[in-house]
Amino acid sequence: MGLERGDGPLYVQIRDAIRQQIDGQSLPPGAPLPTEDELQATFGVSRSVVRQALGQLAEWGLIVRQRGRGSVVAPQREHHRRANQAGGLRQQLASAGQELRTEVISLAVEEPPPDAAAALRTAHTWRLERVRSVDDEPVVYMSTWLPADLFPTLSAEELDGGSLHDWMRSLGHQPHGGPRRVQAVPADPVVTQHLGCQRGEPVLLMQGVTQDTYGRGLEWFSAWHRPHTVFDIDASVNPAPHTADSESTDLNRVRDLVTELTSLIGVEPNTSHAG
C-alpha cells in the first residue's frame, strides 16, 4: 500500500500504522515485525524512511530491534500502584526494581476549577504540571492544584525530581489521604503530548484530594496514566447482616458450649433463665 504525501512525514505514517497494529494486538508482544525489505515494498518508501520509523518505535519501547534478526514487538510492561494508597509511587515502583523520575513542566498561580476550589476551600492556588517517568518512559502526567495560602513560596527547582509529599512534610504539613476515583478517558492533545500516546487512546485518569491530619486540603490533582498501569486494590467482604435466624443460631451455639463446659467440670447447667 502506498502512502499519501500530504498526510505528514512518511516515517510518521509508517510508525503510526505499525503502532496501531501493536495497540490493536494484531501484532502481539513478541511477534516479529515485517523485515525492512517487506516494509519498503508495502509502503513504497526508501530504507532510510523505514529505519527512521522503526527507530522511533524502539525509542518509545514498543519494539526491540535485534541486529541480524529483525525487530519484534516488545513485551508488555505493567506498572503497578496501590489505588488505596495516597502517594508513595516512588517506593511502590522501587520495590519492583523500577526507577521513577519526576519532571516539572510548568508552575504558575492560576484560578482552580470548581472541584479543586471546593476541595481546597480557596481560589488562590498554584497549578503544578509534572510528568513522571519509569526507566525514561513517561507513564503519568499530573496536573496538581496547591493552596497558595499554605504554600506562599514555591519554585520548580524545589520540586523537580523529588516527591511533592516529602516537600510538604519538610514544611510541617503531614499528608494523610483523601478520596480518589479512577476512570477510563480518551487522551486529549495535552495528554497525548506528554505521554506519547495517540489522541483518543484510552488512558486511566485518577482524580482526588490529599488532606492533612486536620482535614485541610493540601492538593487536588488529576493524574493521567498510560493504559498499562495496573491499580491494585485490597478488597474485603462485608459481614453477613444480623438477622433473627442468626441470633437464634448464636444462642444455640452458646447453649451447646455451656452444656459442654459444665459436663467437663461435673456441674449441672442451670437453664431456668434461658430464653
End-to-end CA, the chain = 86
pLDDT tens readout for residues 26-38: 888 889 999 999 9
- Which of 73, 98, 126 is a domain's end point? 73
Is residue 231 left, alpha or beta, with left meaning phi > 0 and alpha meaning psi from -120 to 50? beta
Say if residue 89 is in the same domain as residue 18. no
Say if residue 85 is in the same domain as residue 194. yes
Residue pair 126/107 in contact by the 8 Å Cβ criterion: yes
Residue that the C-alpha cell 515494498 belongs to: 41
pLDDT tier at 97 (50, 70, 90 boundaries)?
low
pLDDT tier at 201 (50, 70, 90 boundaries)?
confident
Residue pair 140/113 in contact by the 8 Å Cβ criterion: no
Instruction: Report if residue 273 sits inside a domain.
Output: no
In this prediction, residue 275 carries a pLDDT of: 47
Say if residue 150 is in the same domain as residue 206. yes
pLDDT tier at 90 (50, 70, 90 boundaries)?
low
Distance (Å, whole) CA 272 – CA 154: 75
Instruction: Report if residue 138 sits inside a domain.
Output: yes
pLDDT tier at 150 (50, 70, 90 boundaries)?
very high
CA dihedral defined by 259, 264, 270, 275, rounded to 10 degrees?
-20
Instruction: Report if residue 250 sits inside a domain.
Output: no
Say if residue 46 is in the same domain as residue 146. no
Say if residue 43 is in the same domain as residue 115. no
**Could you tell me the CATH number of the domain that includes residue 125?**
3.40.1410.10
Question: Which residue(s) pair with 36 in the sheet?
Answer: none
**Lookup: cell for 28:** 502481539
- Which of 26, 56, 73 is a domain's end point? 73
Structural domain including 44 reads 10-73
Pick from 107, 13, 8: nearest CA to 56 = 13
Say if residue 127 is in the same domain as residue 215. yes
* Buried residues in 242-263 as b, exposed as e (16+ CB within 10 A): eeeeeeeeeeeeeeeeeeeeee
Instruction: Report if residue 205 sits inside a domain.
Output: yes
**Lookup: cell for 79:** 506498572
pLDDT tens readout for residues 215-246: 999 999 999 998 777 777 777 777 767 666 66
Say if residue 108 is in the same domain as residue 14. no
Residue pair 102/162 in contact by the 8 Å Cβ criterion: yes
Instruction: Report if residue 120 sits inside a domain.
Output: yes
Say if residue 93 is in the same domain as residue 212. yes
Q: How far is CA 204 from the centre of its chain?
A: 7
Say if residue 214 is in the same domain as residue 109. yes
**Could you tell me the CATH number of the domain that includes residue 19?**
1.10.10.10
- Which of 194, 215, 232 is a domain's end point? 232
| Dihedral sign from CA coordinates of 116, 122, 124, 126 | negative
Say if residue 55 is in the same domain as residue 161. no
Instruction: Report if residue 125 sits inside a domain.
Output: yes
Distance (Å, whole) CA 250 – CA 252: 5
Instruction: Report if residue 271 sits inside a domain.
Output: no
- Residues 17, 22, 27, CA angle at the centre, nearest 5°? 105
Instruction: Report if residue 252 sits inside a domain.
Output: no
Say if residue 55 is in the same domain as residue 164. no
Say if residue 109 is in the same domain as residue 204. yes
Domain count, the chain: 2
